[in-house]
């Protein structure tokens, strides 16, 4: 039996209790004072105030909690709502944790252009992109000299030769979808439109990115030495890639789904290695227009020019970024575009009329005449304005500086920004800014048929770090959207549960979205395709 004397000897004394409480109180007082100091320093530009800042794990995982955390989806949900009423499109988000933390949010197009064009003053916080180093260093997760080297090499892969290849490959793949999946039936019902947009985006990257012949009818033969086909591997990666980005390495032995995903990544890596080896040792691949071949040709030319070529690891990492960066954004953008046309029949009718003028026989024009399908591109652009794949682009201040913003009346104001301040170029904020876009919540593709504020349209980011795959995506999207609408009218699938909903309620249901790898529809988008 334990004696009272022993218990008293191990129990904390009142003095220790007092010291503990005292130090906790001092710590909280320090946090409070620093929070007040941060508020005072930014008093002219105060925006949302929260307990937990946007960089914390809590904020990155959980939904918004008023006064506590704005949540991961804040850049999308806030749109232009939190900017001050005086028309200055800038504010500081201030939080108590991390201690004294504040971040500058901007939806001023001119200020964003200045920051995006000044890479040395406003670098990219590459530590936020470590999850993208799955196969090694690459153009997205790098900065300064490394980024410049990757950019020079990778940009040459996106040539006009490749874009022409994308156009005819998309035409072939679109016809494959209509003939062999839709089978030209009078009516095709999809419980979720991503059933077609996801494989379309994936197969386009497989074809125009890697030179792999992948179709909807292709069985996916497993070559000797592999455990799954190339098509099966990219299908699995497309569906579960977010798990690879979020989970630690040891987790991929714990569940059959995760083990299958890990195998898919290993298989894709081996396929890419084989393609690189084959093309490096074969003269028959010269002149092929896919991205991988273009990149390998540019890498070979770099040695001739006296530049350091990419290692095999860097080649694999940058090739994989094509797959990672392209499939999800392209798939969701096409899904949102078809959904928007389904609830705006007048816009769909206008699009169809132009398509029929350009494609009277249902065949895409030559690549040189892609500009004739201007309404198709306008629909894609308006979709990207309202539902941009990336909602905010982070930067940080490398030095104490001042940023100029302009209000609605044209008056300029200066925003002091201390060194190391996190800055968010708020893409959704710009796209819904009424200074640049009349009725920004209204789907109106025709705004892109005339002069529009190009500096305020930044779905592919801005400046030198803008997405080099923009033309690839636009070419593919215009081709596939035009082919689908040329043969089928698209509408929302009727559901008795929503028989009495208003237009705004239907719009809210269909276009509710979350930020995952890119902006993604939160619910299924059920569509009906009716043969014209």
CATH of the domain at 517: 1.10.630.10
Residue-level length of the chain? 532
Identify whether 338 is part of a domain: yes
Residues 229 and 373 in one domain: yes
> Which of 111, 32, 330 lies closest to 203 in space, CA to CA?
330
Q: Give me the sign of the Cα torsion angle 463, 382, 182, 233.
A: positive
Q: Note whether 47 and 75 are same-domain residues.
A: yes
**What are the tens digits of pLDDT across the range 33-53?**
777 777 777 777 878 888 887
Angle at 307 between CA 306 and CA 313, to 5 degrees: 135
Based on the domain organization, do 421 and 326 belong to the same domain? no
> 3-class SS at 468?
coil
What domain range includes position 431? 42-130+394-458
In this structure, the answer to whether residues 115 and 239 fall within a common structural domain is no
**Ramachandran assignment for 517, one of left (phi > 0), alpha (psi -120 to 50 degrees), beta (any other):** alpha
Residue 19 lies in a domain: no
User: Which residue did the predictor score with more confidence, 293 or 32?
Assistant: 293
How does the average pLDDT of the chain come out, rounded? 86
| Contact in structure between 435 and 84 (CB atoms under 8 Å) | no
What pLDDT was estimated at residue 387? 97
Q: Of 436, 458, 480, which closes a domain?
A: 458
Shared-domain flag, residues 424 and 310:
no
The answer to whether position 31 is within a domain reads no
Which has more confidence, 148 or 355?
355
Query: Are 471 and 357 in a shared domain?
Result: yes
Q: Where among 437, 458, 479 does a domain terminate?
A: 458
Residue that finishes a domain, picked among 458, 473, 499: 458
Asked whether the beta carbons of 422 and 75 are under 8 A apart, the reply is: no
Are 180 and 241 found together in one domain?
yes
Is 13 among the domain residues? no
304: pLDDT confidence band, cut at 50, 70 and 90?
Answer: low
Indicate if the pLDDT at residue 468 is higher than 90. no
Answer whether residue 17 is part of any domain: no
User: Same domain for 453 and 381?
Assistant: no
Does a structural domain hold residue 415?
yes
Regarding whether 249 and 125 lie in a shared domain, the answer is no
Q: pTM of whole model > 0.95?
A: no
Task: Confirm whether 5 is domain-assigned.
Answer: no
- For residue 522, pLDDT over 60 is answered with yes
Domain identity same for 410 and 375: no
The pLDDT-based confidence of 233 (bands split at 50, 70, 90) is confident
Domain co-membership, 63 together with 110: yes
Tens digits of per-residue pLDDT, 91-149?
Answer: 988 888 777 778 899 999 999 999 999 988 999 888 877 777 777 888 888 888 888 88
Instruction: Look at residue 37 and tell me if it is in a domain.
Output: no
25 is in an annotated binding site: no
- pLDDT single digits (tens) 406-428: 887 888 889 999 998 999 999 99
Pair (424, 340) in one structural domain: no
CB 135 within 8 A of CB 269: yes
pLDDT at 12 over 70: no
How far apart are the C-alpha atoms of 431 and 406, rounded to whole Å? 16
Residue that is written with structure tokens 């001023």 in the block: 108
- Please count the structural domains in the chain: 2
């Amino acid at each position: 039996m334990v004696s009272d004397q022993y218990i008293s000897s191990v129990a904390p004394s009142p003095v220790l209790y007092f010291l503990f409480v005292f130090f906790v109180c001092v710590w909280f007082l320090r946090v409070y004072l620093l929070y007040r100091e941060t508020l005072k320093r930014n008093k002219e530009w105060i925006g949302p105030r929260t307990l937990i800042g946007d960089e914390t794990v809590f904020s990155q995982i959980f939904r918004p909690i008023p006064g506590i955390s704005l949540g991961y989806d804040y850049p999308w949900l806030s749109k232009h709502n939190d900017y001050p009423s005086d028309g200055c499109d800038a504010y500081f988000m201030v939080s108590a944790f991390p201690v004294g933390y504040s971040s500058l949010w901007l939806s001023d197009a001119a200020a964003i252009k200045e920051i995006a064009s000044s890479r040395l003053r406003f670098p990219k916080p590459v530590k936020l992109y470590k999850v993208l180093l799955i196969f090694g260093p690459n153009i997205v997760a790098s900065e300064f000299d490394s980024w410049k080297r990757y950019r020079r090499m990778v940009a040459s892969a996106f040539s006009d030769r490749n874009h022409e290849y994308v156009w005819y490959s998309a035409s072939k793949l679109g016809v494959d979808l209509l003939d062999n999946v839709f089978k030209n039936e009078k009516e095709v019902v999809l419980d979720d439109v991503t059933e077609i947009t996801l494989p379309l985006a994936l197969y386009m990257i497989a074809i125009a990115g890697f030179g792999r012949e992948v179709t909807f009818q292709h069985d996916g033969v497993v070559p000797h030495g592999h455990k799954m086909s190339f098509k099966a591997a990219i299908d699995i990666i497309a569906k579960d890639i977010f798990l690879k980005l979020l989970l630690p390495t040891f987790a991929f032995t714990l569940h059959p789904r995760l083990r299958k995903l890990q195998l898919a990544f290993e298989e894709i890596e081996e396929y890419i290695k084989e393609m690189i080896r084959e093309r490096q040792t074969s003269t028959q691949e010269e002149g092929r227009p896919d991205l991988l071949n273009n990149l390998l040709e540019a890498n070979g030319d770099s040695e001739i020019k006296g530049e350091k070529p990419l290692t095999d690891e860097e080649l694999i990492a940058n090739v994989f970024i094509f797959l990672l960066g392209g499939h999800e954004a392209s798939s969701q953008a096409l899904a949102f575009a078809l959904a928007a046309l389904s609830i705006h029949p007048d816009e769909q009718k206008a699009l169809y009329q132009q398509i029929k003028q350009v494609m009277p026989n249902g065949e895409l024009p030559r690549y040189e005449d892609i500009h004739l399908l201007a309404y198709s591109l306008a629909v894609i652009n308006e979709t990207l304005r309202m539902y941009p794949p990336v909602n905010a682009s982070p930067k940080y201040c490398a030095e104490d500086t001042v940023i100029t913003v302009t209000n609605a009346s044209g008056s300029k104001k200066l925003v002091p920004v201390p060194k190391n301040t996190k800055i968010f170029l708020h893409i959704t904020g710009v796209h819904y800014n009424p200074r640049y876009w009349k009725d920004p919540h209204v789907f109106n593709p025709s705004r892109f048929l005339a002069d529009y504020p190009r500096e305020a349209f930044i779905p592919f980011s801005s400046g030198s770090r803008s997405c080099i795959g923009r033309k690839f995506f636009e070419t593919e999207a215009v081709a596939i959207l035009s082919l689908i609408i040329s043969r089928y009218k698209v509408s929302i699938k009727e559901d008795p549960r929503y028989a009495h909903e208003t237009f705004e309620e239907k719009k809210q249901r269909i276009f509710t979205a979350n930020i995952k790898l890119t902006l993604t529809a939160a619910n299924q988008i059920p569509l009906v395709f009716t043969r014209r």
